[in-house]
Amino acid sequence: MSEPAQDSLSDIRPDDHEGYMRLALSLATKSPLKPTNYRVGAVMVDKPTNQVLATGYTLELPGNTHAEQCCIEKLAQKYALTGTRLGDALPDAIALYTTVEPCSQRLSGNKPCVDRILEVGKHIKTVYVGVQEPDTFVTGNSSRRKLEDAGIEVLLVSGFERDILEVATAGHKT
């Protein structure tokens, strides 16, 4: 559950969306291969200070955890707050970088990542995604609409699609 050393992140400049997406992609490669999950990486950044607040990847924490969920749970643990109260401790302008669009539905019965993001409140201003969620497990992901309806900007960081999908689907039957 350790975070990358701050020194290893110091070369990512403010608003270097590609640098943060590369970091998220490197985190995704740590996810175990599982035919029923995408291997996803996520990074939460305090935009004004360019400080990485949390990182996460699929199945990093116990349970059937997703990358965005791991970021939020690690921050909640750090501040000893529940996910719904976490916004009270966070800076006002957070960017979330995630290799795959946050899920809008969980077949496992767990809370979808989009709902976890919305619970943090208005602190997450922008969600940067590498690819839209493929229709493999759930069709018609509505995360983008839900986030935008809540005033959160959703932006694609292009150029990583092939690499992200290769990592995300490793371990799936073809």
Question: Which residues are identified as catalytic?
Answer: 68
Q: Render the burial of 22-33: b for 16+ CB within 10 Å, e for the rest.
A: bbbbbbbeebee
d(CA 122, CA 120): 7
Strand bridging mode 153-156 / 124-131: parallel
- Which residues are 45's β-sheet partners? 52, 95
85 contacts: CB under 8 Å, gap ≥ 6: none
Length of the chain equals: 174
d(CA 50, CA 73): 21
